[in-house]
Structure 1
Amino acid sequence: MTHIDSTRIENAAARLDQARRHRIPCAPVRDLLPSRDPATGYAVQQVLTASRIAGGAHPVGHKIGLTAPSVQQQLGVDQPDFGVLFDDMVCLQGQVIDSRRLLQPRIEAEVAFVLSGDLDGPLDETTVRKAAGDMVAALEIVDSRVADWDITIVDTVADNASSGLFVLGAERIPLRDQDLRTIEMTMTDARGQRLSSGTGSACLGDPVAALCWLARTKQELGEPLRAGDVVLSGALGPMVPVVPGETYTATITGIGRVVAEFAARR
């Protein structure tokens, strides 16, 4: 990582944390982090993660972002990024979500994995599949603490990969040897209108490939994925803005469906 004053890291973390706490979007942090190296963003993310844990939040897994080639091109990168999932991000199906918890929410459908084994040894697709455990249809409510989503790769990585909340479906299907490249996703609103659609190949070519990338990346960092971790593998189609009072349903062939309902704005 390009050397950078730790004071700049702390200042960037403080800016994002204040935006999260007060629900007021902030200016991008790239002005505090002149290096475009994503590692500087991860340094900020680590400070924020430690602060969340010190405040009582518990990590439950990770999310993978930037799995679509078009989004990578937009931000000038050639690989995904990741963020940390905390227990207070979990929303249960049937639980009405208050969008006032968020700043600029958008929603996307994904395949989630609930790992059945640790991923801390030699890694290839076979070993990753063996530890991947169950697949679950998921809706990720992404969010940005940066005003107007004016982000570069450093901004989004620092901001915990623009994470917000997530909902998991009720059905769990073992991954085993299933080919996820051809699964189809459809997301609709309460009136059945299609809002987004896509296939497994939209997620880094294959959601399993995304999981492999994260497993290798975390292992290189000395923080391997563990049994029980939830991994959101990346969007299967375009994300859409969240509308208060709306209900979103995603159906993924061979895996199941998941619903997220948002409270109407008072």
Structure 2
Amino acid sequence: MKNLITLPQNFDDYLTIENADLRFREATDVAERVIGAGVDIYPNMDHAAIFCDPPHLVADGLKQLGYVNGWDARCYPSPVDGCDYINVSAQLPAESPAHREGWFDYVAVVHPVDKLALQHMLGQGYGNPFIHHLTWGLVPPERAGDDDFAYASCVVPFMVEKRKVIGDAIGDAPGTLIIALPENVLSHPKFEESLPTWLGNLDEEAYQVESMQGSGFLIQFFVLTGGRIEVALRVDTTQTFNPKSVHKISEDEISAIQDE
């Protein structure tokens, strides 16, 4: 496939976000480095995480574009910097004209749930709303058959390798590799003995393995300080995120104080 990235050209027609240009520049720079290192990514971003209060500041524009707010009937508690936020996901149908115009596959609309979190969000100086991070989707290895365990034995080492390649290309230490796998992979009788082989020399504190709620594979890590840009591999998921992953990422991987 051609590695030609696309960004929403009509972004300002639907969303007014002060730091959007900055995040798009960072995302473009990361994409160019990732592609230059020989890693294939999808043209459209997997998702954007946008903090706002109230949520309609973002959800209104998304609805006009054709996004389905709350499409997966989930909300994801997100304890960022010790403050309580809620993440509600919007999905853009693949056949949507907006998708052809470069809009993200998903948007995490993240809002504070109490006054403390609101003051924390507004105190960072990024504006309201602001784009917290943007996520590129990695093109996964081809899958032969429907054996989840066999595919896990391919896709986990693939992401371990890409994490190192991307970290070297960007020159910033990559974040924790969050590995959400189908439950039948984790319960497979050979999983415990196979996992160390899949992970290679990856340090224990550099990864987290968990069961993917719903189904499918979602493996992700951040590539810039403060959680500004992320990459993710997604295969056959039935919801945007995994609750355990969101909690880990929110608590340990990201901050509203992003030290750019």
- The reply to whether TM is greater than 0.5 is no
> Structure 2-normalised TM-score?
0.31
> Structure 1-normalised TM-score?
0.31
Between Structure 1 and Structure 2, the one with more helix by share is 2
Between Structure 1 and Structure 2, the one with more strand by share is 1
